[in-house]
A and B are shown apart, each in its own frame.
Chain A
Amino acid sequence: MKEINMREMKVNQSGIVSAVKVSGELGRRIRDMGLLPGTEIKIQGRAPLYDPVALRLMGFTLTLRNSEADYIDVKVED
Chain B
Amino acid sequence: MTATIALAGNPNSGKTTLFNALTGARQHVGNYPGVTVEKKQGSFVENGTRINIVDLPGTYSLTAYSLEEVVARDFLVKEKPAAVINIVDASNLERNLYLTLQFMELGVPLCVALNMVDVAESRGVKINIEKLGQMLDLPVLPTVARSGQGKKELIEAASHLIIGRKKPEPLLISYGEDIDNTLAEMVKRIEAGNFLTTTYPARWIALKYLENDQQILELGRETNAGLSQDLEKMAAWLADHFSKTLDTDPEAVIADHRYGYIKSILKQDVIKRNVRQDRLYLSDKIDRVVTNRFAGPLIMLAVIYGLYHFTFTYSEVPVGWVESLFGLLGGMAETHLPDGLFKSMIIAGVIDGVGGVLGFVPLIMFMFLGISLLEDSGYLARVAFMLDRVFRIFGLHGSSVMPFIVSGGIAGGCAVPGVMAARTLKSPKERLATLLTAPFMNCGAKLPVFALLVAAFFAEHEARIMLLITLTSWVGALLAAKLLRSTIIRGESTPFVMELPPYRFPTFRGLLIHTWERTWQYIKKAGTVILGISILLWAMMTFPGLPENQMAGFENQRQAILAASPATVVSEIESAGEETALSAEAEAVQDKLFAVDALESEDALRHSLAGRLGTSLEGISSLAGFDWRTNIALVGGFAAKEVVVSTLGTAYSLGEVDPEETGSLSERLAASPAWSPLTALSLIIFTIFYAPCFVAVVCIAREAGSWKWGVFSMVFNTTLAFGLAATVYQVGSMLNLMGG
Contacts and interface: CB of A to CB of B under 8 A. Distances in A.
8 contacts: A31-B255, A32-B63, A32-B255, A47-B389, A48-B296, A49-B390, A62-B499, A63-B499
Given A28-B61, A33-B60, A59-B277, A48 B297 contact: yes
A68 B497 contact: yes
Interface in B475-523: 494-502
B496 A52 contact: yes
For this complex, into which size category does the number of interface residues on chain B fall? 35 or more
Contact of A54 (B95, B125, B278, B385): B385
A34 B94 contact: yes
B384 to A, nearest CB: 8
Contacts of A61: 284, 287, 499-500, 502
B713 to A, nearest CB: 28
Given A34-B94, A56-B278, A59-B91, 18 more contacts: A20-B252, A25-B494, A27-B249, A27-B251, A32-B63, A34-B98, A36-B259, A48-B293, A49-B389, A51-B388, A54-B291, A58-B94, A59-B277, A60-B92, A62-B498, A63-B385, A63-B498, A68-B495
Given A52-B496, A58-B94, A62-B497, A25 B65 contact: yes
A2 to B, nearest CB: 20
A16 to B, nearest CB: 13
Contacts of B462: none
Interface string A15-54: 0000010010111111111101100101011011111101
Interface string B97-113: 01000000000000000
Interface of B: 60-61, 63, 65, 91-92, 94-95, 98, 123, 125, 211, 249, 251-252, 255-256, 259, 277-278, 284, 287-288, 291-294, 296-297, 381, 385-386, 388-390, 392, 494-502
A48 B496 contact: no
A28 B296 CA distance: 31
A48 B386 CA distance: 6
B278 A23 contact: no
A27 B212 CA distance: 13
A28 B278 contact: no
Contact of A68 (B249, B277, B496): B496
B339 to A, nearest CB: 63
Contacts of B287: 44-45, 54, 61
B386 A60 contact: no
Nearest to A32: B61
Contact of B92 (A32, A44, A58): A58
A36 B256 contact: yes
Contact of A63 (B95, B288, B293, B500): B500
Contacts of A44: 284, 287
B284 A52 contact: no
A42 B278 contact: yes
Interface in A57-78: 58-65, 68
B256 A37 contact: yes
**Among B65, B98, B255, B495: residue with most chain A CB under 10 A:** B495
The winner among B91, B256, B259, B390 for most chain A CB atoms within 10 A is B259
A52 B389 contact: yes
B260 to A, nearest CB: 9
Contacts of A34: 94-95, 98, 259
A47 to B, nearest CB: 5
A30 B249 CA distance: 14
A32 B91 CA distance: 18
A48 B291 CA distance: 7
* Minimum-distance CB pairs A-B, first 5: A31-B255, A49-B389, A32-B61, A61-B500, A29-B497
B497 A64 contact: yes
A14 B278 contact: yes
A54 B385 CA distance: 9
Contacts of B381: 63
A37 to B, nearest CB: 7
A23 B98 contact: no
A21 B371 CA distance: 37
A25 B255 contact: no
Contacts of A25: 63, 65, 494-495
Contacts of B211: 28
Nearest to B66: A25
A32 to B, nearest CB: 4
A6 B256 CA distance: 19
B397 to A, nearest CB: 11
Nearest to B262: A34
Contacts of B63: 25, 28, 32
A62 B495 CA distance: 12
Chain B CB within 10 Å — which of A14, A27, A47 has the most? A47
